Homo-oligomer: A and B are copies of this chain.
Amino acid sequence: MSLPHATSGQLIDIRPLGTQLSSAPSRAILKSQGLELMRMVLPAGKTVAEHQVPGEITIQCLEGRIELSAHGNRQVLRGGDMVYLEGGVPHALHAQEDASLLVTILLTRGT
Contacts from A to B (Cβ < 8 Å) = 6-16, 30, 32-35, 37, 55-56, 58, 60, 70-71, 73, 75, 77, 79-86, 89, 104, 106
Whole-angstrom CA separation of A30 from B106 in the bound complex: 15
User: Which of B10, B35, B86, B89 contacts A56 (CB under 8 A)?
Assistant: B35
How many copies of the polypeptide does the oligomer hold? Answer: 2
Closest partner residue, chain B, to A82 (CB atom): B12
Closest 6 CB pairs of A and B: A15-B80, A9-B71, A8-B86, A12-B82, A9-B70, A34-B106
Q: Are B84 and A35 in contact (CB under 8 A)?
A: yes
Q: Are B56 and A12 in contact (CB under 8 A)?
A: no
Q: Are B12 and A33 in contact (CB under 8 A)?
A: no
User: Quick one: given A104-B104, A106-B106, are A83 and B11 in contact (CB under 8 Å)?
Assistant: yes
User: Which of B11, B32, B37, B81 contacts A86 (CB under 8 A)?
Assistant: B32
Q: Are B13 and A80 in contact (CB under 8 A)?
A: yes
In the assembled complex, which residues on chain B have CB atoms less than 8 Å from the CB atom of A85?
Answer: 8-9
